[in-house]
Amino acid sequence: MNRYVMYNFVMVSLLNLMLFVPNILFQYRYHGAVSSLIAAAVIGPLFGIVFIRTITKYPGKGVPEILNENYPRWVTVPAFLFFALMWFSAASITVDAYAVLINRFFNPDANVLVILGVMCVICLYAATRSTLSMLFIMEIMLLLNVPLIVMLLVKAGGSDQMNWDAIRTASNYVQSMPKLAPLAAATFIFTGYLNLSIYNRVLPPNYKFKRGYLLPVFGIGVLATTYFIPIGLHGIDGVSSYLYVWSATSDSLAMEYGFIERVLFVFLILYLNLTLIYTASGWHQAMEMIKSCFPKYKPSIDEHPVPRSNYVIVSVFAVITVAALYLLNEKHLTEFTSYWLIIRMFSEYGLVIWIVVHTLLRRGAA
C-alpha cells in the first residue's frame, strides 16, 4: 500500500513549520542555507528510498523485531529507548509550540498550560489506539487537510505581493558552503520515511515500493515553498524578525470571497489538525519502541480493547510535555529544537545505515 508510506512522508514534510525549520534556515540565509537545501534534497530522498526498500524486505516486522532477533538485549534496549526519546521529543516540541501559537493568535486570554493540557489529553487518546487505527486516522486527516494546505501554499506563491527580487537575492547566496544546522533542519523534511520502522508491521507481505520519484519531487516542492515564499513576502531582511514566520506569512494573505477573510485562521486550523496527528503518531511510535524493550511483549497491530500499558506510557509522555512548557519558554524551545534536529539527523542516518548494513551482511551470510 504505497499511499500509506506516502502519507507518513507528506505529514512530516508539511509539519516542518512547527519544528522551527524555517527559522533555522533563515538564520543562515546569508551563510549556506540555500546550498544546505540543495544538499538535503540529495541526501534526504537517497536515504529515504534506501531505507524503505530495505525495511519492506521484512514483511510484518518493525525495526524492534528485526533488531531484537539478531542482537543481544543490552544493545537493543538502549537503542530503542533512545529512538523513543527522539520520537517523543519531536512530537512534544510540536505540541508545545502549537499550544503557544494558539495562545498568541487565537485565545490570547487563555492559559497556555490549559490549552496544552487539553491537546495532550486528545493526543493521549489518539496515540493509545492500535497501529492500524493510527494509519486510518492519519489517512483521513491528511485527505481532509492536505488539499487545503496545498491550496494555501499555491495561493501564497501566486500572491501579487510576492517580491521575486528578494527570492533571487536569497538564491544568490548559493555559493556559501552548507552548514550543519541548516542541513539538519532541511533534511527534516524528508524524515517521514523513518515512521516505517513501526508502521512496516502493518504493510502487506507482498508490498513493493513504487513511485519513489515522488519523494524528491514533493520534498523539494515543500522545501522551496517553506524557504522562499516567506522571503518573497517579507523581504530577505524582514523575514528574520518573526518567530512564527509562517503564521505571519499566511496573515499577509486575504481571501476576498466567502465568510473568512484572513487566511491565518484557516492555516492555523489546518496546522492544528496536522500537529495533533503528528503528535499522536510520534507518541504512538515512541510507545511501541518502549513496549518493545520488554522481553515478553508481542507486537499486535490491532488490539481491542486498548491495553493498559499504552495509557501508562503515553500519560508519562503527556505529563513530561506539559512540564516542559511550564519550565521552558519559546526561546529555550527553539534552541532545544535546533540541537534536536542535529542529533536527529545523525541518529536517523545511523539507524538507516545499521538496518541496511545488517540486511546486506545477512544476505552475504546466507
Partner 1 sequence: MLHRITTLFAEAKDLNTHRIHNREFTLEVAYIGSLVDESKVSDYILVPFTKEEQSFKTILETNPSFKKIEDPARWAGNLLRGFVLVKLENAIYMLDAARVIRNQNPIAEVESSVQGPQTALSEDLIDSMNLIRSRYPSAELKIEEGTVGTLSMTRMLLLYDQRRVDPTLLANIRNRLKEVTHEMIGAVGELEKELSSPRRALFPTMIITERPDRVARALSQGKLVLLLHGSMFALILPANFFDFMHAMEDKYESLWMTNFLIALRYLSILLTTTLPALYISVVSYNPELFRVQLAFSIAGSRSAVPYPSFIEVFLMLFLIEALIEASARLPRYVGSTATTVGGLILGQAAQQAGLVSSIMIIVTSVVAISNFVVPIASMSYAIRFLKYPLIVLSIFFGIMGVAFGLFIYIVYLCQLRSFGKPYFRFLGNITKKEGDIGQVNAR
Residues near partner 1 (CB under 8 A):
1-4, 59-60, 102, 106-107, 110, 115, 118-119, 122, 125-126, 129-130, 132-133, 135-137, 139-141, 143, 201-208, 259-262, 265, 269, 272-273, 276-277, 280, 300-302, 304-305
Q: Apex CA 222: angle with CA 160 and CA 31, to 5°?
A: 85
Minimum CB separation from partner 1 for residue 205, in Å? 6
Residue 40 or 264: the one with the smaller Cβ distance to partner 1 is 264
Minimum CB separation from partner 1 for residue 180, in Å? 36
Q: How far apart are CA 59 and CA 3, in angstroms?
A: 17
Q: How far apart are CA 267 and CA 45, in angstroms?
A: 27
Minimum CB separation from partner 1 for residue 297, in Å? 15
Q: Are 99 and 268 in contact (CB under 8 A)?
A: no
Q: How far apart are CA 258 and CA 359, in angstroms?
A: 55
Pick the closest to residue 185 from 22, 27, 44 (CA basis): 22
Cβ neighbours of 137 (radius 10 Å): 17
**DSSP, res 19:** G
Residue 161 or 300: the one with the smaller Cβ distance to partner 1 is 300
Q: Are 127 and 284 in contact (CB under 8 A)?
A: yes
Minimum CB separation from partner 1 for residue 298, in Å? 11
Q: How far apart are CA 92 and CA 86, in angstroms?
A: 10
Residue 205 or 295: the one with the smaller Cβ distance to partner 1 is 205
Residue 122 or 356: the one with the smaller Cβ distance to partner 1 is 122
Minimum CB separation from partner 1 for residue 249, in Å? 18
Q: How far apart are CA 194 and CA 48, in angstroms?
A: 8
Torsion of CA 124, 128, 131, 134, to 10 degrees: -30
Q: Are 234 and 249 in contact (CB under 8 A)?
A: yes
Q: How far apart are CA 170 and CA 164, in angstroms?
A: 10
Residue 227 or 283: the one with the smaller Cβ distance to partner 1 is 283
Q: 119 is written with which cell numbers?
A: 491537546
Minimum CB separation from partner 1 for residue 125, in Å? 6
Minimum CB separation from partner 1 for residue 184, in Å? 30
Q: How far apart are CA 173 and CA 187, in angstroms?
A: 19
Residue 42 or 254: the one with the smaller Cβ distance to partner 1 is 254
Minimum CB separation from partner 1 for residue 256, in Å? 9
Residue 206 or 329: the one with the smaller Cβ distance to partner 1 is 206
Residue 13 or 275: the one with the smaller Cβ distance to partner 1 is 275
